[in-house]
Amino acid sequence: MFSKFTSILQHAVEALAPSLPLQEDFVYHWKAITHYYIETSDDKAPVTDTNIPSHLEQMLEILSQEELERESGETGPCMEYLLHHKILETLYTLGKADCPPGMKQQVLTFYTKLLAHIRQPLLPHINVHRPVQKLIRLCGDVLAAPTENEEIQFLCIVCAKLKQDPYLVNFFLEVGCCPQAVLPLWRGHPSVLPDFVLGFCIRLSIVQDGRIVVKACEGLMLLVSLPEPAAAKCLTENTELCELLTDRLVTLYNALPPSMDPLDIETVESINWGLDVYNGKEDAAMFAGKRPLISFLSWLDYCDQLIKEAQKSAASVMAKAVRERFFVGVMEPQLMQTSEMGILTSTALLNRIIRQVTSEALLQEMVRFLLGDESEAETPSTIAQNPVRHRLIEHCDHLSDEISIMTLRLFEQLIQKPNQHILHSLVLRNLEERNYLENKPPEEREPIENGQPHDAVDLEEDPLFGDDLSPDSRLPSSDWLSPSPSHSPDHSKSEGKTEVHKIVNSFLCLVPDEAKSSYFVEGSGYDTYLRDAHRQFRDYCGICLRWDWRGSPKAFEKCNLELPFFEGHFLKVLFDRMGRILDQPYDVNLQVTAVLSKLSLLPHPHLHEYLLDPYVNLAPGCRSLFSVVVRVVGDLMLRIQRIPDFTPKLLLVRKRLLGLEPEGITIDHVTLLEGVIVLEEFCKELAAIAFVKYHATASTSP
């Protein structure tokens, strides 16, 4: 109480006294602090019971006022006095001794405000950056200290200054002595940067105060984003930053329950790393493991954003550490296990991880883990070359429908990521030589049916297929698809519009009329797929623009057609699944066709030819998507004859799937009937994709 009264009295006297020049006033306040240590005999009284905080605050105000009164960049006498008399060195010594108690907190606050409020660059001065380095090393020497908030504020302002002027990092890469406190993180490089990492990572690991954790994360993000290669090398090679980040990721993953509902994993709300404020008591959609799941996803988001913001070489090293220590060390054994519940949970978590990763470096390393680095065409004997890739693709055709569906969803998510190697590894490398085409002279080939099927829809009279599509619905120009799709290497090209109508009708008429049920339900026509196809194709074109994909099919004479064709493990499993569409559960069929339609949307000439050209001349023993569907339809025609009242049953099943009819009496052959409905819808979707891809090219071609 007495000290507060003294402080108030002192301020009153200063206010009434004639104003001194700034330098004299500054020296007065500094000498008042030094006199305290000379005159006082009670060094146990807290600093808040003295006038030291007030004097320090006055010194900061004087320095700020002096800078305002001078031209930009000019150093005033008060600042000169601070630098010449090594005031920061003295304050560091007092703070280190914490005498009187609480002095360390005052010193940290003074440093923080000085660096934040003074606009002229201070860190290049030797009498600033040396005491700053020493104070950095002082941060974190006591865990859960009462000064942790001030420490993190100080470290963050130094990081902000380094981010603002990256060249300043060189002052923190000097040779110096390394204190014992940082030896566990320091690998022989005499730099102060490991002390930064130490201070931040300690708080990331043990502090319970969410605000301090967020500040620590922000500071670390500033630090790794420094563009100086020396700083990046120091952070990644001479500290345990990568280990600390990945160890926490592993710890949080291992804290998850061994089995979780895939739907819960898929639908849990997205959590940004700075907003992990989950309250289980207020959550109406609570489920077992939600809190640890949110914590894991939040930390994954932070690692992803940290790698995204980091200097390029630092980002690469951190991403590789995540692959080796988390994906290979933790995820791989989970995916390779034999427990169906374990496989399902780990696959659902991996699917969520794929969905969440956005940084280029981390995505690249994740793809390497999932698919390997191989770029040569597959053969039946090499499909097991990468164990994780092989196991995941095999899981697309697992005995457990749940595992099959979840793994197919994973691949659907994966092929939409902006990474060229994904599609090259899964499909494109096997189509590069176009050796799925028949290698015979034209006169020896079997004739192709010309003209449209007798019951084809006349698209010329359909307003939906008119040429008056609005300009904003057209897609960017691309030359990968010729206006007239080539039926064979030397197929004569007639008018493109007629050709695309043939292709569209080939898909629309695949399913015979007696097996169609969409005619009887309003709003289920072919046109319903066009808008989605337009949007998805436009999105894919945006992703693929920066890839070095060829603009037109590889010249037939340059293809090595003598090589035996193998569609690759991924397409083989998808085609096998598609061939069993009449005997598989409805949800499995939906997911298989979803993946195939995504592949069909890709703007690559070989993939378009292989998946969407019904007239392509296939080499003996080869199959395409169209040929697989043709075989399914042939099987369907035989089986329809054995099902009484087939059409009414089919229509009833469709209405039940749409929710237009309540569940009632049990219908026999329901799996087949649902398969027929999916088959019809899939053919309509492929027709829409073929038309959209044609029109996108035709509308922008000269």
Above 80 in pLDDT, residue 522? no
The answer to whether residue 384 is domain-embedded is no
Q: Are residues 91 and 207 in the same domain?
A: yes
The values of phi and psi at residue 437, to 5°, are: -85, 150
Residue at 550 is within a domain: yes
What's the pLDDT at 177?
Answer: 35
Whether residues 581 and 525 share a domain: the answer is yes
Per-residue pLDDT at 420 exceeds 80: yes
Q: Is residue 581 part of a domain?
A: yes
Report the range out of 133-147, 280-294, 381-395 with the highest average pLDDT: 381-395
Higher pLDDT, 231 or 537: 537
Predicted local distance difference test score (pLDDT) of residue 41: 74
**DSSP, res 327:** I
Buried b (16+ CB within 10 A) or exposed e, 574-607: bbebbbebbebebebbbbbbebbbbbbbbbbbbb
Contact 407, 528 (CB under 8 A): no
In terms of average pLDDT, the best of 43-52, 138-147, 532-541, 659-668 is: 532-541
Residue 239's pLDDT is what?
A: 82
| Together in a domain, 169 and 272 | no
The predicted model gives 135-156 an average pLDDT of 82
Judge whether 667 lies within some domain: yes
Instruction: Judge whether 553 lies within some domain.
Output: yes
Phi-psi region of 645 (alpha: psi -120 to 50; beta: other; left: phi over 0): left
| Tens digit of each residue's pLDDT (9 = 90 or more) over 196-236 | 766 676 566 556 667 777 888 888 888 888 888 888 888 88
CATH classification at residue 55: 1.25.10
For 61, residues 6+ apart whose C-beta sits below 8 A from its C-beta are none
pLDDT confidence of residue 500: 85
Using pLDDT thresholds of 50, 70 and 90, give the confidence band for residue 416. very high
How many residues are listed for the chain in this entry? 702
Whether 469 shows a pLDDT value over 80: the answer reads no
Domain membership of residue 616 (yes or no) is yes
| Per-residue pLDDT at 455 exceeds 60 | no
Write down the mean pLDDT value for the chain.
Answer: 83
If asked whether residues 202 and 277 sit together in one domain, one would say no
* Residue showing tokens 């009329």: 513
Shared domain check, 673 and 602? yes
Pair 265, 347 in one domain = yes
**Same domain membership, residue 155 and residue 71:** yes
Question: What was the pLDDT predicted at 26?
Answer: 94
Residue 178 has pLDDT above 60, yes or no: no
**Domain boundary, last residue among 349, 371, 393:** 371
Q: Is the peptide bond before 453 cis (omega within 30 degrees of 0)?
A: no
Separation CA 300–CA 322 (nearest Å): 10
pLDDT higher than threshold 90 for residue 592 = yes
Residue 442's pLDDT is 54
- The pLDDT of residue 146: 84
Q: Which domain holds residue 321?
A: 242-371
Residue showing tokens 């025609």: 637
Q: What is the pLDDT of residue 184?
A: 35
Q: What is the mean pLDDT of residues 27-54?
A: 88
Are 251 and 280 found together in one domain? Answer: yes
Q: Are residues 136 and 246 in the same domain?
A: no
pLDDT value of residue 18 = 46
Which segment, 141-145, 165-169, 170-174, 537-541, is predicted with the most confidence on average? 537-541
Q: Report angle CA 618, 507, 477 to the nearest 5 degrees.
A: 85
pLDDT band of residue 149 (cuts 50, 70, 90) is confident
Average pLDDT in the 19-38 region? 88
Domain boundary among 371, 406, 427: 371
- Comparing 210 with 438, the larger pLDDT belongs to 438
pLDDT in tens, 234-256: 888 888 889 989 999 999 999 99
Q: Same domain for 555 and 653? A: yes
Q: What is the mean pLDDT of residues 180-185?
A: 34
DSSP H or E segment with residue 673: helix 670-698
Whether 463 maps to a domain, the answer reads no
pTM of the full predicted structure? 0.81
In terms of pLDDT, which residue wins out, 648 or 269? Answer: 648
- Mean pLDDT calculated for residue range 628-647: 94
With respect to residue 404, please indicate whether it lies within any of the assigned structural domains.
no
| Total of domains in the chain | 3
Burial class of 470 by CB neighbour count within 10 A (0 to 12, 13 to 18, 19+) = exposed
Residue at which a domain ends, from 371, 399, 431? 371
Looking at the chain, the whole-number percentage of residues with pLDDT higher than 90 is 55
- 281 and 207 within one domain: no
Q: Greater confidence, 75 or 87? A: 87
Q: Under DSSP, is residue 618 helix (H, G, I), strand (E, B) or coil?
A: strand
pLDDT at 305 over 80: yes
Q: What pLDDT, on the 0 to 100 scale, is given for residue 312?
A: 94
Q: Is the same domain home to 172 and 298?
A: no
